[in-house]
Chains A and B, each alone.
Chain A
Amino acid sequence: MIASLIQLRIFRNWNMWIDTFLLFVFFLFIAPLIIPRFLLIDILSWSIVVYGFSLLYGFLGYLSFGHLAYFAVGAYTFACTVRFLHIDPLLGIIIALLAGVATGALFGLVTVRKGGAYFALTNLSVSVVVYYIVLYFLKDYTGGFEGKFIDLRHGIIDLSSRETAFLAVLILFTLVFLFYKILSKSTFVLLLQAIKENEDRVKFLGYNTFLIKYIAFIVSTMFSALGGAALVLSHSYVSATTYTPAFNGEIVIMSMLGGASSIYGPIIGTAMYLGLKYVIGSYIIRWELVIGTILLVSMILAKGLGICGIFEKLLKTKIKLFGE
């Protein structure tokens, strides 16, 4: 059954490879001319988490209010293994990935049973517990509120320089994007969407819906953990302030802004949100007021669709932005 979920003939689809390559080239050469690289690296890192979130929200319709937990798990696993075990940061990234998988495997058993408020709040609970553990109980390792500086110099590649860190994060992002694209064309995602519509019907068809949801959850947490490692990579610093549970809403907004069910949605939503904060915050001290107003107004005007949703409407054709 698992094999049928991933149709390998996807790999022969040239369009997909070209799209991914173009995106990579775009971010490597063109985007830095428009967006400063230090902002771009943060956008790419955060968008990886938002991809993880959108997988669950966009396709399955399950809204998680606690993805910062998995973000934190990845970030701290990376930070602590690099700092205390003095391993190569590249290895650290892989370990962070595995930690994300493990966390998802653990909590997924319980969280994916139902959607709606149940899913949102069980994940929120995980986020709160993880936050306070890294803030205080594991403070000696994590640095807690103050945080810890991570020296990225020991390794095959010196990841402490701006250029290599950017390239590393960009590669991670591209891999995530590619994975997401492949995923979006598989029957797996079709099943997720079917479950979103009517789970019982899918069960009657003979599928183990719990297993499907479970796997989706693990992939989602894996992405989030990867995003966490990427963010530490971009700053050489990790601090619990980033993972305050109250900021879970930001991930939700970034996903919704871009349109949760399209492939480009997460990156666009993240770019918009962080870009907006960056630009407005540079001019106006009361940026919270302005951004709140902008979000409000744009949501009302956009009638609740993400940017990609609007685009689809604008071109008056249902352009399947994923799967071409």
Chain B
Amino acid sequence: MDILILVRQTLYGFSIGVILALVSLGLSLTYGKMKIINIVHMLFYAVGAYLVYTSSIMVGNFWYGLLLSAIVCFGLGIINEQILKYLYGKSIEYTLIVTYAILLIGIDLIKFIWGVDFKAVRPPKELSWFIPLIEIEFYRIFVIIICIVLYLLTTLFMKHTMLGKVVTAFIDNDEHLQAIGINPRIATLLMYALGSALAGIGGALHAPLYSPYPYMASDIMMYAFATVVCGGVGSIAGTLLGGIVLGMGYSYSGYFQPYLSPIVVFLALFIILIIKPEGILGAK
């Protein structure tokens, strides 16, 4: 492989990885803290993608769609939390089936609202040009930058703002939080809403790179779980790392044979799990 192709595939992998990380972050946080496998989370990714599609059809503007996805998914995340509050403490069977059932319902609603065919979304005109020599869409570079920025913002938010510190404290130990007199409900709500909004943005950013279709929510499920466990449950940096590692694997192998990508991704997951079952940056 000559150096240009290597550069291209690396950037390509990066772009997939950061989107994966963005989408999986919410999952990682909620699983790490609440020990709930929230399958409904995948819906936000799909909703984000479809909202961007609708926005580009109706208003012709990609940016409005991006903002819309963030806001709508933020709201949906809060609703999701209300549902999951109910499930907290219940057996894993219960949680799995309930969230899976909601996913099924959600997918069918998507089919009802938007129809069953594949949709075409174009990236914003300013960004849809190919970088010469490397032959990669500039839009992908944009995606990488945006996702990393969002990630940094999230980390800063968690570390330096009052609200963020509340959420971090909540993730570490919610009893301490209650001891100080802060209602952990705010923290949970925020955690869900934030994670969902990020997933929605991830979906929105991904939409121009391929075609949204109703079952994309269930298809991303495996990759999201893989990213979370690979990077380490509950670790923000870990999810990013996990996403990038898997994204690279996907990209490099995909160059030779697209069907090799999932195999490589899950083989990588398999091996990482064997070596370090908690994930790369997971706590023992």
Taking beta carbons and an 8 Å cutoff, which residues of A are in contact with B? 63, 110, 113-114, 117-118, 121-122, 124-126, 128-129, 131-133, 135-137, 245-246, 249, 252-253, 256-257, 260, 286, 288-289, 291-293, 295-296, 299-300, 303-304, 306
Provide 28 A-B residue pairs closer than 8 Å at the C-beta atoms, listed in order of the A residue.
A114-B277, A117-B229, A118-B229, A118-B277, A121-B225, A121-B273, A122-B273, A122-B274, A124-B225, A125-B266, A129-B262, A129-B270, A131-B262, A132-B263, A136-B259, A137-B259, A246-B215, A246-B222, A256-B96, A257-B97, A289-B104, A289-B109, A295-B100, A295-B101, A296-B101, A299-B98, A299-B101, A303-B90
B112 touches A296 (CB 8 A): no
State the Cβ distance, B132 to closest chain A Cβ, in Å: 33
Could you mark each residue 215-233 of chain B with 1 if its beta carbon is under 8 Å from any beta carbon of chain A, else 0?
Answer: 1001101100110010001
Number of B interface residues at 8 Å Cβ cutoff, please give it. 40
Find the A residue at minimum CB distance from B259.
A136
Contact between chains at B97 and A288 (CB < 8 Å): no
B107 interface hit (Cβ, 8 Å): yes
Besides A121-B269, A125-B226, A131-B262, 18 more A-B contacts (Cβ < 8 Å) are: A110-B274, A114-B277, A122-B273, A125-B266, A129-B262, A129-B267, A133-B263, A245-B222, A253-B100, A286-B108, A291-B101, A292-B101, A292-B103, A293-B101, A296-B98, A296-B101, A299-B94, A300-B98
B163: interface (CB < 8 Å): no
A60 nearest CB across to chain B (Å): 14
Q: CA separation between A121 and B226, bound complex, in Å? A: 7
Q: Which residues of A have CB within 8 Å of B101?
A: 291-293, 295-296, 299
Cβ distance B267 to chain A, nearest Cβ, rounded Å? 6
- B2 contacts the other chain (CB 8 A): no
- The minimal Cβ–Cβ distance linking B280 to chain A, given in whole angstroms, is 14
Select from chain A the residue with minimum beta-carbon distance to B90. A304
Q: How far is the CA of A291 from the CA of B221 in the complex (A)?
A: 20
How far apart sit A136 and B222, CA to CA, in the bound complex (Å)? 19
Closest to A250 in B: B100
- In the bound complex, CA of A286 to CA of B107 (Å): 11
Q: How far is the CA of A257 from the CA of B226 in the complex (A)?
A: 26
| Alpha-carbon distance between A20 and B255 when the two chains are bound, in angstroms | 54
Contact B218 A129 (CB under 8 A): no
Question: Considering the chains assembled together, what is the distance between the CA atoms of A95 and B100 in angstroms?
Answer: 35
Distance (whole angstroms) from the CB of A224 to the closest CB of chain B: 19
* Interface assignment of B182: CB less than 8 Å from any CB of chain A: no
Other-chain contact of A122, B103, B109, B263, B270 (Cβ < 8 Å):
B270
Tell me the bound Cα distance from A132 to B259 in angstroms: 7
Q: How far is the CA of A135 from the CA of B258 in the complex (A)?
A: 12
On whether A249 and B92 interact (CB within 8 A), knowing A118-B277, A125-B267, the answer reads no
Other-chain contact of B102, A117, A118, A296 (Cβ < 8 Å): A296
Contact status B98-A288, CB under 8 Å:
no
The residue in chain B whose Cβ has the minimal distance to the Cβ of A131 is B262
Known: A63-B92, A121-B273, A124-B222. A292 touches B263 (CB 8 A): no
Q: For B260, give the chain A residue with the smallest CB separation.
A: A132
Contact between chains at A293 and B105 (CB < 8 Å): yes
- The chain B residue sitting closest to A306, CB to CB, is B93
CB of A104 to closest CB in B, whole Å: 16
- On chain A, the residues within 8 Å of B222 by CB distance are 124, 128, 245-246
Contact B94 A288, beta carbon cutoff 8 Å = no
Q: Mark B108-128, 1 if CB is under 8 A from A, else 0.
A: 110010000000000000000
Nearest B residue to A136 via CB reads: B259
Closest B residue to A63 using CB positions: B92
Please name all residues of chain A whose beta carbon is closer than 8 Å to the beta carbon of B108 when the two chains form the complex. 286, 288-289, 292
Interface readout for B122-147 with A: 1 if CB under 8 Å, 0 if not? Answer: 00000000000000000000000000
Complex interface: chain B residues within 8 A of A110 (CB): 270, 274
Quick check: A117 and B226 within 8 Å, CB to CB?
no
Q: Which residues of B sit under 8 angstroms from A246, Cβ to Cβ?
A: 215, 218-219, 221-222
Measured between alpha carbons, how far is A132 from B101 in the docked complex, in Å? 27
**B100 contacts A125, CB within 8 Å?**
no
Least CB separation from A127: chain B residue: B266
The answer to whether A135 touches B259 (Cβ under 8 A) is: yes
Q: Give every chain A residue within 8 A of B100 (Cβ-Cβ).
A: 249, 253, 295
Give chain B residues whose Cβ lies under 8 Å from the Cβ of A288: 104-105, 107-108
In the complex formed, the residue of A with least CB distance to B104 is A292
CA distance A208 to B19 in the complex (A): 43
Contacts of A253 in B (CB 8 A): 97, 100
Across the A-B interface, give the 5 residue pairs with the lowest CB-CB distance, nearest first: A292-B104, A304-B94, A289-B108, A292-B105, A125-B266
- Find residues 78-103 in chain B having any chain A CB closer than 8 Å to their own CB: 90-94, 96-98, 100-103
Closest Cβ–Cβ distance, residue A165 to chain B (whole Å) = 31
| Interfacial chain B residues near A299, Cβ < 8 Å | 94, 97-98, 101
> How far is the CB of A193 from the nearest CB of chain B, in Å?
16
The 8 Å CB contact of A125, one of B90, B92, B94, B269, is B269
Query: Contact: B91 with A304, CB < 8 Å?
Result: yes
Q: What residue of chain B has the Cβ atom nearest to residue A302's Cβ? A: B94
B98 touches A128 (CB 8 A): no
On chain B, the residues within 8 Å of A306 by CB distance are: 93
| In the complex, chain B residues whose CB is within 8 Å of the CB of A295 | 97-98, 100-101, 104
